[in-house]
Amino acid sequence: MESIQAIKQRFEIIGNNPVLNRSLEKAIRVSPTDISVLVTGESGVGKESVPKIIHQLSHRKHGKYIAVNCGAIPEGTIDSELFGHEKGAFTGATQTRNGYFEVADGGTIFLDEVGELPLTTQVRLLRVLENGEFIKVGSSKVQKTNVRIVAATNVNMFEAIKKEKFREDLYYRLSTVEIHLPALRERKEDIHLLFRKFASDFALKYKMPTVRLTEQAIQLLLKYNWGGNIRQLRNVAEQVSVLETEREISIDILSNYLPNTNGNLPTVVNESKSESDFSNEREILYKVLFDMKSDLSDLKKLTMELMKTGNSHDVQKNNEGLIQKIYGEVSSTQNEDLDLLTLPEKNNTDLEIVDAAKDKYHFAEEIIEEETLSLHDKELELIKKSLERHNGKRKLAADELGISERTLYRKIKQFDL
């Protein structure tokens, strides 16, 4: 069995990160068997290297090795690509075609981005994993194949299973052994080594001197988030090697090639949490709307009763609780100094203000309307003046109006204050 160091040299793998070494060790140990392997990790971490190692160290190394990018094949043709088809099976099928599972018999198939497979194809793949059988598209003949499957994905498989985008039984079939490759930001000790390797390769390729980083530039390289992982680092090394005339790269020069160097790259939002937050916001919005509808119904009820009876004092007495709900309960100390509202008598268009001279709030004014006083306007006026009195401090204004701060906030949104 080859050592980890020998494998790194053979497959040009750079780095001494413990997690990386553990992943390579698992790949070496599982290679002599026919166990299915699932390689996980973010996009750009180099997942394609693991199936090559497994194939080359296995007894299948003289058989075919086929890498299939499942996300790049259209859903309508992926079954034909993997399992083949018979002549006339569908429009355009002018001849019989052998699929990858038939061609790679005795070898290894690497299914990259396996999380993108359609559910119908997942069923076919599960049958291959269970008993090595498959059926060509348009055929009824069962065929046998002896292939080893190594799959890779950057998808959170448990989330995909939860959303019914990936079959749970297929996941457990594929992940008999799971090998996880760490993101580049988790391998800080390897970042500068990788950059130097890429810079050396590009200097040789483009026949120019190798670029070097200053100490400050190295520190920037290590602190950067590297959302694109090794692929992004390689691109940066190539750009710097080709575009810069100076061979010593300072932090100012390097920062021009690193987007978002003034802050961390945006983090991925957990979808389940986001959906939960949106659900809570909807519930709050629905409650506010129902409260507004209730208040509107109460206003209509009070107005209709006033119009029918014509006796404002009786209406006020019979609907005291309703009026307090609309205008807010006034504390007993406030009532000693001010009776905020006395409803108008029939045919009397003046709003009566009680003890206006003693009013320490000095915002109850005599308003003369040509028609019946609007409760809506009066409520709006009281809220405005209370907010002005307390310089926009909602808590103090709510206490003065005798309502909760949440109710006041809803009124402010309702009236667009």
pLDDT of residue 397: 81
- Identify which of 186, 180, 131, 173 has the alpha carbon closest to the alpha carbon of residue 153: 180
Q: 9: part of which helix (H) or strand (E)? A: helix 4-11
What pLDDT was estimated at residue 342? 44
pLDDT tens-digit readout, 347-401: 444 444 444 444 444 444 444 444 445 677 777 788 888 888 888 887 888 888 7
pLDDT, tens only, 257-309? 998 754 444 444 444 444 555 566 666 777 777 777 777 777 777 777 666 66
pLDDT at 294: 76
- Taking the C-alpha atoms of residue 313 and residue 344, their distance in angstroms, rounded to an integer, is 8
Which CATH number is associated with domain 4-182? 3.40.50.300
| Class in CATH terms, 186-255 | mainly alpha
Choice between 287 and 330, residue whose per-residue pLDDT is larger: 287
Confidence of residue 323 (pLDDT cuts 50, 70, 90): low
Q: What is the pLDDT of residue 289?
A: 76
| 235 has a pLDDT exceeding 60 | yes
Annotate 235-245 with b (16+ C-beta within 10 A) or e (fewer): ebbbebbeeee
* Contact indicator for 149, 107 with CB cutoff of 8 Å: no
Considering only CA atoms, which of 128, 118, 206, 222 is closest in space to residue 165?
118
What integer pLDDT is reported at residue 383 of this predicted model? 82
How many CB atoms are closer than 10 A to CB 417?
12
pLDDT of 120:
93
Distance CA 233, CA 247 (A): 18
**pLDDT tens track for 25-58:** 999 999 999 999 999 999 999 999 999 999 999 9
Identify the residue with better confidence: 70 or 270.
70
The Cα–Cα gap between 161 and 124 comes to 17
Q: What does pTM read for this prediction? A: 0.62
Q: Is pLDDT at 82 greater than 90 in this prediction?
A: yes
Query: What is d(CA 231, CA 183) in angstroms, rounded to the nearest whole number?
Result: 11
User: In this prediction, what percent of the chain has a pLDDT beyond 70?
Assistant: 77
Find how far residue 232's CA is from the centre of its chain: 22
Over residues 103-113, the mean pLDDT reads: 96
Whether the predicted pLDDT of 344 surpasses 80: no
Lay out the sheet containing 65-69: strands in order across.
Answer: 65-69, 108-112, 148-153, 37-40, 177-180
Per-domain residue ranges of the chain:
4-182, 186-255, 277-415
State the average pLDDT for the chain.
82
- What integer pLDDT is reported at residue 349 of this predicted model? 44
Residues 3-23 have a mean pLDDT of 93
Between 187 and 404, residue with greater pLDDT = 187
Side-chain half-sphere CA neighbours of 240 within 13 A: 31
Amino acid making up residue 413: K
